[in-house]
Amino acid sequence: MIKKELQTPFSTPYNTAPFSKIDDLDYLPTIKEAIILAKKEIDNIINNPEVPNFKNTIEALDFLGEQLDRISSIFFNLNSAETNETIQKIAQEVSPLLSEFSNDITLNEDLFKRVKLVYDTKGDLDLTPEQKTLLDKKYKGFSRNGANLPLAKKEKLREIDKKLSQLKLKFGENVLAETNKFEMLVTNETDLSGLPDGTKEAARQLAESKQKEGWLFTLDYPSYIPFVTYADNRELRKKITLAAGSKGFKGDKLDNQNIVLQIAKLRYERANLLGYKTHAHFVLEERMAQSPEKVQEFLNELLDKAKPAAQREFNNLETFAQELDGIKKLEKWDGSYYAEKLKQKLFNLDDEKLKPYFKLENVIQGAFTVASKLFDLKFEEINNIDKYHEDVLTYKVTDTQDNFVSILYADFFPRAGKRNGAWMTVYKPQYIKNNANSRPHISIVCNFTKPTKTKPSLLTFNEVTTLFHEFGHALHGMLANTTYPSLSGTSVFWDFVELPSQIMENWCYEKETLELFATHYETGEVIPMDLVHKIKESATFHEGMQTLRQLSFGLLDMSWHGLDPTGITDVKAHEAKTFENTKLYPDVAENCMSTAFSHIFQGGYASGYYSYKWAEVLDADAFEYFKEAGIFNKTVAKKFAAHILSLGGTEAPMTLYKRFRGQEPKPEALLRRSGLINNS
């Protein structure tokens, strides 16, 4: 029996997650019980004496297992943002159970018969576009996951899925453990030369918190990024860069090489079992790009445009480092350091000069103001709902008529139980059931510098764009307005999901936006216009190198998933071969990207990393539309909300995009913005 406090809907304000009522040890029995309940719901659908129809089969399937979805989403979100050994151990047990349950649905012959009966008569049904999409999605959910396989192959599929779920978890645990394990204690103050005061203070505070004398640096981004960007001590930059680049690649108990090979090969075997050439062929059938060949063509086309610029930028940077410090060969631990120095020289623009204007609280308010001006939203901080950590901020989101829109959780600072990076996630999706619009609970998670004794949390400009990026994803979730949970919010094709997030970054470069929130944390002075001009001017600084870097990750992803990986025995050698065409810096023998490439080996980006660049084409084209009308133009914003943000995955992405834009996206907008072609 599920604990009364954990039964959905929860008896909490807005039906929010009752974090304080859940003990870690509650998760396993609750999930097991919720699986039993969901299986009964499946039996009810199968044993329904009525002729299968859209409502009693397809719709019933989509609303299946609400209890299971709620508790497992809370659990896995905590496993990313506030994990511990107990949660990690439970995750290893829970993941195969959920994988097995998922297969219990897609491999259930009686259930598939009912779905197929409805699907085969779809021409006679009077369905809305959303219902047509749901029917298609449910049918493909079965056919693409083994419903048509003979029994022996179905059992093999179950075995593969179970193994994959465990391997992905183990991969992520190893990366987190590696991140937490590394500490670089600096005891000589001269070794801190070049570092900003705020970075030094944070390092001193971290050392004190661990009862150590000196300054402590880690692989958490707020510690790592400033160190490799500003520290004059080249040997220490090398030490921390090697540590960051060798996660999961040391041949010890946290090594991920064998896990990478197993995941790639199991995904390939799974795809073959289902009748697909590779994992990428399987995945991309349900993407805007449609095929690995199209992705490869897309990446190579951008590579042709970006590589000459990247090589030029790299040569200039190497010359600059040689003239400045006599560096004969630019290494990976020199890149950020000399790029920052060159940027300061060219634009007289230093992140440290900008940071006082980007106090975290002001940037949050800035994102809220932009959302208010565009989409008529109001954000009110509330303290009557549970939090999973004291650092988490909680907001009630309403529209201008005070209608409840969403709950928003915001979690901004690094800690031991939280993985690196930034992401948006959902604790409860939006849907309409029994004529009631059940609103979503959305969360954004980042890793910014914590306030110190003397300074608030001050963001780099890159962190400002990161916050706006995740907030864009959040808007996609918060403004969802669909009937079915599986089509709601960010439940869209993976190469479309980054459009709402990436478009929001554009506002960070606009004078009209910056004047709303970029004020000096001590004086209240609005950011000077010459700094705004420099931000704009420097936006394309090293764009060729940045593009090449992104393309290299996309190509690496496709090399693992778009080809037969069974012959790969050496992860590093495979990676080196893949990077041949995008390599600028000399290779570092101790480093390997794949063994910590969480996006594709733990997260959902396998065969999908290209989508960041794909979505950049969309967001550059879409933002040009805003700029033509005015960046806060209500008419364009309403169209964006109506056709992109609110409709989730209810129709084909290109259909929605063309309805918003009036035409298909053109890559020229991105190339212009990137400075890779003339702005004429």
pLDDT digit string, tens, across residues 440-466: 999 999 999 999 999 999 999 999 999
Given a cut of 60, whether residue 46 has pLDDT beyond it is yes
- What residue ranges do the domains of the chain occupy? 4-106+108-148, 182-245
Place of tokens 């939090």: 387
Instruction: Using pLDDT thresholds of 50, 70 and 90, give the confidence band for residue 678.
Output: low
Going from the C-alpha of 456 to that of each of 114, 359, 425, 616, the distances in angstroms are 59, 7, 26, 32
Burial class of 199 by CB neighbour count within 10 A (0 to 12, 13 to 18, 19+): buried
Residue 57 identity (one-letter amino acid): T
Question: What is the percent of the chain with per-residue pLDDT over 90, rounded to a whole number?
Answer: 94
For the segment 19-27, the average pLDDT, to the nearest whole number, is 97
CATH (one of 1.10.287.70, 1.20.120.80, 1.20.1050.40, 1.10.357.10) for 4-106+108-148: 1.20.1050.40
In whole angstroms, give the CA distance from residue 509 to residue 526. 15
What is the phi/psi pair of residue 613, to 5°? -70, -40
Q: Write down the pLDDT at residue 680.
A: 46
Label residue 402 left, alpha or beta by phi (over 0 means left) and psi (-120 to 50 means alpha): left
For the segment 108-132, the average pLDDT, to the nearest whole number, is 96
pLDDT for 174-197, tens place per residue? 999 999 999 999 999 999 999 999
Per the residue annotation, which of 59, 470, 505, 575 is the catalytic one? 470
Q: Write down the pLDDT at residue 351.
A: 83
Given a cut of 80, whether residue 295 has pLDDT beyond it is yes
From 232, 219, 223, 188, select the one nearest 205 (Cα to Cα): 223
Given a cut of 80, whether residue 679 has pLDDT beyond it is no
Q: Is 33 a catalytic residue?
A: no
In whole angstroms, give the CA distance from residue 327 to residue 308. 23
In whole angstroms, give the CA distance from residue 70 to residue 66. 6
The pTM (predicted TM-score) of the whole model is 0.89
Q: What is the mean pLDDT of the chain?
A: 95
Given a cut of 90, whether residue 608 has pLDDT beyond it is yes
Q: Which residues, at least 6 apart from 476, have a Cβ–Cβ distance to it below 8 Å?
A: 489, 490, 497, 500, 501, 644, 645, 648
Beta strands in 447-591 (DSSP E): none
CA torsion 155-156-161-167 (nearest 10°) is 130
Given a cut of 50, whether residue 238 has pLDDT beyond it is yes
